[in-house]
Amino acid sequence: MTVELDSIKAEVLRRNPGEAEFHQAVDEVFASLAPVLKKHAKFEAAAILERLCEPERQIIFRVPWVDDTGQVRINRGFRVEFNSALGPFKGGLRFHPSVNLGIVKFLGFEQIFKNALTGMPIGGGKGGSDFDPRGRSEGEVMRFCQSFMTELYRHLGEYTDVPAGDMGVGTREIGYLFGQYKRITNRYESGVLTGKGMGWGGSLVRPEATGFGTVLFANEMLATRNQSLDGQRVLVSGSGNVAMYAIEKAQALGATVLTCSDSSGYVVDERGIDTELLKQIKETERGRVSEYAERRGAVFVDSGSVWDVPATVALPCATQNELDEAAAKRLVESGVVAVAEGANMPTTRAAVSLFHEAGILFGPGKAANAGGVATSALEMQQNASRDAWTFDHTERRLEEIMVGIHERCAATAEEYGAPGNYVIGANIAGFLKVADAMLALGVI
C-alpha cells in the first residue's frame, strides 16, 4: 500500500474499533487500489475512499417480541445503508446469533463493489439481527419479523432501500416482513423487498441464483485454462440455499459434488450429493446433514471440515472465514485447481495468498456470488413493469451477467498488471464504477 492508503486505512480502523470483519474487508479492497490512485489523482482529491468507508446511514434498533410461552424477548436490529451512488441501497438481511454491527458493515461494504460489478443500477447495503430463527415456531418467527419491520419500514422503499434474504432469512421470513410492510404502509410495493414467493411478486431463478452464479463463474475461470467443471471432484461447504443450488448446478455441468455441511459436521458422498434428498431434509424438514448421511448411506464426520477431502474444485458456501490457511494448504496438496466463493468472504487473506502463490484460480465472493443480487435486481425490474419472466429467460440473463462479471474482472486485472488475479480485477472494476458515480454526484 502507499502512504496515503495506509493513512486512510488507519483512520478507518480508528473510527470503527473492534469490528474485525469490517477491517478485514476494507484491508482486502485497499490492497488492490494503489495503482488506481496513482493513475487517477482525482479520487484522492475528492476523498472517495474516505467517503466509501463511511456508511451514508447506520440504523440500530430494538426488536421486542413475545415467544410462545409468553416471555418477552429483545433482539437488536441493524440496517447499514452504505452507498447509493449507483442506485437504491440493495443487500440482504441476515438473522443469526453472530450478527453485530461489524459483520453487517463488512457485508454492506462488500455489497457496494459486488453490486457495481453486476452492471445493474443498485447501491450497497446490508442488515439483519442477532435473532436465531432455528428452533423457533412459525408463530415466533412471524412475530419477530413483524416487530423487526415495524421499525425498519420507515427506512425502506423501492427507490430508497430494497432488502433481500441472507443467512436465516428465506421466503418464509421475507413473506412475514413484506406482509407487515404492506400492513403498515397500506401500499403493495412489490419492489421494496426481493426474494419473494412466486405467487406474490417473486422471480423465477432467484432461489437458485447465488449458487448457480457461483458455479457459472467457476466454469468461466476454468475455461481460461481450457478446462470445465465436467469430470471435476467438487467440495461444497454449507447446506443452505447457496450451497444447495451450487451443488445442483455443478452436477448439471458434469461435476461430482462430494460434500455438504452444517454446524453439526459434514457429509462425504462419493456417489455425488443427492440434491432432492438434501432439499427435503434441509428445506422441508429443517433437519441436519447427519440425517442425510443416515438416509443416503453416506459418511458423516462430526470433526474437521470439508476441506479435508481430496478434490479438484472448492466452493465455500457457508460463512465468513471458514477456509483458513491450514485448510488452503490441504486443498493445494490434494490438487485443487479452482476455488470460487459462494459465501461472503469465506476465505481468509492468508489462504487467498496461498492460492495465488500456488497458481490456483480464485474467484472472490464479490464477483463469484454476485448472481444472487443480480437476479434480485431482475426481480425489481419485473416488479416495476408488473411482469413475470420465464425460468429459461431469467436463467439466460443470469448467465449473461455472470459472464460479463468474469470478463470485467479478467480485463481489469490484465489492464492493471495482474493477469488472472480476480481479486484485484473485481476490487478495481467495482471501485472504478462506484467512484466515477460518486464524483459525478458531487460531495454528498
Nearest 5°: the CA angle 57, 59, 62 is 175
- 114 among annotated binding-site residues: yes
Cα dist. 97→60, 202, 384 in Å? 16, 27, 35
259-262 β-sheet, strand order = 259-262, 265-268, 299-301
Strand pairing category for 313-315 and 57-66: unpaired
Tally the C-alpha atoms within 13 A of residue 135's C-alpha that lie toward its C-beta. Answer: 4
- 100 among annotated binding-site residues: no
For every residue of 274-312, DSSP letters joined together read -HHHHHIIIIIS---HHHHHHHHT-EEESSS-GGGS--S
- 241 among annotated binding-site residues: yes
Can 282 be counted among the known catalytic residues?
no
Q: In 54-160, where do the E strands start and end?
A: 57-66, 72-83, 89-95, 123-129
Cα dist. 12→130, 317, 345 in Å? 25, 29, 19
- 90 among annotated binding-site residues: yes
Closest CA to 266 of 304, 232, 214: 304
What are φ and ψ of residue 331, in 5° steps? -65, -45
CB 180 within 8 Å of CB 150: yes
- 111 among annotated binding-site residues: yes
Tally the C-alpha atoms within 13 A of residue 130's C-alpha that lie toward its C-beta. Answer: 15
Residue at grid coordinates 445503508? 81
Q: Which of 9, 126, 196, 249 is catalytic?
A: 126
Closest CA to 336 of 320, 318, 315, 353: 315
At 212, the amino acid letter reads: F
Residues facing residue 72 across a β-bridge:
66
- 210 among annotated binding-site residues: yes
Tally the C-alpha atoms within 13 A of residue 25's C-alpha that lie toward its C-beta. Answer: 26
Binding-site positions read 90, 111, 114, 165, 210, 241, 376
Which residues have a catalytic role annotated?
A: 126
Binding residues for substrate, by number, are: 90, 111, 114, 165, 376
- Binding-site residue set for NAD(+): 210, 241
